[in-house]
Amino acid sequence: MSNDKEKTEYVSYLEHQGKYKGIFSWIFTMDHKRIGLLYLYAIVALFFVGAIMGLLMRIELIAPGETIMKPQTYNGIFTVHGIIMIFMVVIPGLSVVFGNFFLPILIGAKDVAFPKLNRFSWWIYIAGCILAVASQFMKDGPPDTGWSFYAPYSTSTGTNVIMATFAAFVLGFSSILTGLNFIVTIHQLRAPGMKFFNMPLFSWAIYATAWTQLLATPIVGITLLMLIAERLFGIGFFNPDLGGDPVLFEHLFWIYSHPAVYIMILPALGIITEIIPTFCQKKIYGYKAIALSSLAIAGVGFLVWGHHMFTSGMSNQARWFFSLLTFLVAVPSAIKVFNWLATMYKGSIDMKPPFLYALAFIFLFTIGGTTGLLLGSIATNVQVHDTSFVVAHFHYIIFGGMGFAFFGAIHYWLPKMYGRMYNMRIATIAWGIIFVGFNLLYFPQFIIGMQGMPRRYFDYLPQFQTGQVISTIGGFILIIGTVIMVYNLIKGARSGEPAPANPWHGSTLEWQIPSPPSLENFDEALAIKSNPYDYE
């Protein structure tokens, strides 16, 4: 297909003139692609704010005692780092950026089912972000509870907890509405001839994620309202002095926040499943197993929240039940890895940056997943719970998993989104720096965690210092790599070589339309394959 010839006939969504001009053509847009880009810019900006906070923590921890800040400042910073990264970057992350941009295209639709609701979700998201950022600067000081807001500390500290929890409550609505929108889109707007089992697997992952968003988010919403009610009106839900139960808060919080981990990681698994077949030029191995394992992860993921509370004084029955289910949820994730490896077998492998991120993802996700087994096993959980082991495990899954998938996705789809190509060599170098920095940053935290270094510690005993120093050095390397990567991508998007419609020889629908796509994506009738990864 000749791209140049088509350019004369179509207008890309980036240049399309609608009712509004200039900046308003973005703020009031209902185009799923433009909304995806708006989320992308907000999330990248917030990611750097959170990353700088992480770096400040690493500098503070380079030596025992006070290094650059007071304990109260440190506690505020790790709380705000968590709130920004969890509620504004990783939970929406892949869904709102790549889900918005590519879900409709992958299933052959012109837009999501409810474009106005989509625009409204974006506005709510921005409102929530403003509230959350404002809570950091208001008079009483930034919240200092940790992102988990455990009661009764959160109901008794003097800091700005109400504003921060209300922000999370507002962000929750954006998440619920986006989930709803995607579910209806997948059910109603698939192109004629595309059945559920003809969809690309990223759509399956988004589908499973969307159900989790829709069903789990209301629980954290009401929990945060209960917390606010306890603070404002002294209603005793959680504080035992008022007749409440602090462990109830933990249960309610994790009933949402564990499935939330799958909201973060499922789309990432979906993206890796798109990247691997393209760069191996091979049909994905075990299509049905991968599709159904997404649903299995989402389903069983609802029933494992208690593994965050093995030391809270739960009954023995609850402890073994949650531990067993936690182990079982590892199986569908393992199946995906087996299928990815089998897809590489006898492929024709092209080591381009998106594929490098996919390889790094498998490595890091395996470390994150298997250390999850050590956390799911009760005997070992008792030792490493609430230590830096958990911090390392979580960052391996969320940053090494979701983050690397995000980086992979942007390298994979940027030519489609902007119609331009980035510099491959710089992208590969940045990938190498990020991979090395990441492992230096987080791996030592597994070791000092097993030795007993508790998390959320402003100060620590000298025996943990070696690990802390290596970790801080890794933090600097990681951020340098990330800056190079982002610089290269921005430069590519603005002034890179024009990208062809299908630079990677992909087989899914987004590669059969021009780069960048037109406003309604599909100007010609499209052919639906029974297997979206058919390379024969």
Partner 1 sequence: MFSSASNFVHGVDKAFLIIGGFSIFFLVSFTIIMIYFVVKYNRKKHPKATQVKDNTWLEVTWTTLPVLLVIFMFYIGWEGFLPMRQVPKDAMEVDAIGKMWSWVFEYPGQKQADTLVVPIDKAVKVNLISRDVIHGFFVPAFRIKEDVVPGQTNFSWFIPGELGEFDLFCSAYCGVNHSYMSAIVKVVPQKEFDKWYAALPVKKKEDDNLGLKVIDKNGCTACHSLDGKSSVGPTFKGLYGSQREVTENGKTKTLTADSKYITNSIYDPNKDVVSGFPQGVMKSYKGIIKEEDIKLVEEYLKSLK
Please list every residue from 121 through 180 that binds partner 1, using CB under 8 A.
139-142, 144-146, 150, 152-153, 156-160
- Tokens linked to 331: 């199986």
Asked if 321 touches partner 1 (CB under 8 A), the answer is no
Q: Of the candidates 518, 280, 276, 268, which has an alpha carbon nearest to the alpha carbon of residue 407?
A: 268
CA distance 498 to 347: 28
The correct pick among 125, 207, 285, 418 for binding partner 1 (CB under 8 A) is: 285
Instruction: List alpha helices for 398-464, DSSP H.
Output: 404-418, 424-450
Q: How far apart are CB 172 and partner 1 at their closest, in Å?
A: 23
Asked if 192 touches partner 1 (CB under 8 A), the answer is no
Asked if 478 touches partner 1 (CB under 8 A), the answer is no
Q: Which is nearer to partner 1, 9 or 536 (CB)?
A: 536
What residues numbered 35-64 form the site for partner 1, per CB under 8 A? Answer: none
Helix (H, G, I), strand (E, B) or coil at 222: helix
Q: Of the candidates 509, 507, 502, which has an alpha carbon nearest to the alpha carbon of residue 526?
A: 509
Asked if 289 touches partner 1 (CB under 8 A), the answer is yes
Asked if 188 touches partner 1 (CB under 8 A), the answer is no
Distances from the Cα of 499 to the Cα of 406, 443, 506, angstroms: 20, 38, 14
Asked if 299 touches partner 1 (CB under 8 A), the answer is no
Asked if 336 touches partner 1 (CB under 8 A), the answer is no
What residues numbered 407-426 form the site for partner 1, per CB under 8 A? Answer: none
Q: Which is nearer to partner 1, 153 or 487 (CB)?
A: 153
- Tokens linked to 65: 């005692």
Query: How many residues are recorded in the chain?
Result: 536
Asked if 274 touches partner 1 (CB under 8 A), the answer is no
DSSP at 500: P
Stretch of 172-180, 368-376, 396-404, 490-498 contacting partner 1, by CB under 8 A: 368-376
DSSP string of 251-296, one letter each residue: HHHHHHHHHHHHHHHHHHHHHHHHHHHHHHTSPPTTHHHHHHHHHH
Q: Which is nearer to partner 1, 136 or 178 (CB)?
A: 136
Stretch of 30-38, 105-113, 315-323, 396-404 contacting partner 1, by CB under 8 A: 315-323
Q: How far apart are CB 293 and partner 1 at their closest, in Å?
A: 9
User: What H or E segment, with its residue span, contains residue 318?
Assistant: helix 316-344
Q: Are 265 and 273 in contact (CB under 8 A)?
A: no
Stretch of 120-128, 372-380, 396-404, 422-430 contacting partner 1, by CB under 8 A: 372-380
Q: Which is nearer to partner 1, 241 or 497 (CB)?
A: 241
Asked if 500 touches partner 1 (CB under 8 A), the answer is no
Q: How many CA atoms lie within 13 A of 160 on its CB side?
A: 22
Helix (H, G, I), strand (E, B) or coil at 139: coil
Q: State the binding string over 445-464 for partner 1 (x if CB under 8 A, else -).
A: -----xxx-xxxxxxxx---
The correct pick among 376, 401, 415, 481 for binding partner 1 (CB under 8 A) is: 376
Q: How far apart are CB 383 and partner 1 at their closest, in Å?
A: 5
CA distance 530 to 198: 5
Q: State the binding string over 68-107 for partner 1 (x if CB under 8 A, else -).
A: --xxx--x--------------------------------
State the CB neighbour count (10 A cutoff) for residue 187.
11
Q: Of the candidates 536, 435, 422, 439, which has an alpha carbon nearest to the alpha carbon of residue 486?
A: 422
Q: How many CA atoms lie within 13 A of 415 on its CB side?
A: 24
- Tokens linked to 418: 């902007």
Asked if 323 touches partner 1 (CB under 8 A), the answer is yes
Asked if 241 touches partner 1 (CB under 8 A), the answer is yes
Q: State the binding string over 11-40 for partner 1 (x if CB under 8 A, else -).
A: ------------------------------
Asked if 366 touches partner 1 (CB under 8 A), the answer is yes
